[in-house]
Amino acid sequence: MPKLTGVKKINVAVFISGNGSNLKNLINYSLKKNSKFKISLIISNKSYAKGLDYAKKFKIKKKIINYLNIKNAEKDIITKLKKYKIDLICLAGFMKILSINFIKNFNGKIINIHPSLLPKYKGLNTHQRAIDNKEKYSGCTVHYVNSKLDSGRIILQKKVKILKADNSNKLAKRVLKQEHLLYPKALKKVLINL
């Protein structure tokens, strides 16, 4: 009798530092029928990151990384990535900058979600800066990670209109909703080319 083997899923690691709403969203997406990927590992540089709760809830391996020394931290990360045979890294609110060496090692295999319409507003406080500059739109971008901060090739973007009554919190909430739609779409696109 021929063996009935399922199609092998792409193993994804998600790196977080905080709430993990994008992580949760990606997990839910990965559990859908016909999904091509599996979240096999959650990496956090914060032991108290709320997003780590999803590791327990969804029975996903997690690793908290001590970042006192970046070399050791990245060594620990690489050990886990190898152990769980990770094919792709999704950064989702991960507040550490990966070294050039690390990025080179995983060239084309790290993606990130950023809360602005890149190349505008790289770095932090993106929504406040967009409001202060009287932009009509803010938004979010999923992009490949390269050695320059928030500068890798763009995969997908979504615009969000800035309203008169907006402050950065209100705007961030609306953008986050769009992030939850955008990240799975972008991931799907990336998986096709992996």
Q: Looking at the annotation, which residues are catalytic?
A: 114
Question: Which residues of 65-169 form beta strands (DSSP E)?
Answer: 88-91, 110-114, 137-144, 154-161
- Supply the minimum distance, in Å, between the C-beta of residue 61 and ligand GRF: 19
74/179 with CB nearer ligand GRF: 179
- For the CB of residue 80, give the shortest distance to ligand GRF in the complex, in Å: 20
What is the sign, positive or negative, of the torsion defined by CA atoms of 121, 117, 35, 191? negative
In the complex with ligand GRF, the residue whose CB is nearer, 75 or 179, is 179
Task: Between 73 and 182, name the residue whose CB sits nearer to ligand GRF.
Answer: 182
Which of 140, 149, 143 is CA-nearest to residue 90?
143
- Smallest separation, CB 21 to ligand GRF (Å): 3
Peptide bond into 184 cis (omega under 30): no
Q: What six digits make up the tokens of 130?
A: 């967009």
Mark 150-170 as b/e (b = at least 16 C-beta within 10 Å).
bebeebbbbebebeeebebee
Please check whether residue 39 is in contact with residue 67, taking contact to mean a CB–CB distance below 8 angstroms: no
Residue 140 or 186: the one with the smaller Cβ distance to ligand GRF is 140
- Contacts with ligand GRF by CB under 6 A lie at 16, 18-22, 51, 92-93, 113-115, 140, 176, 179
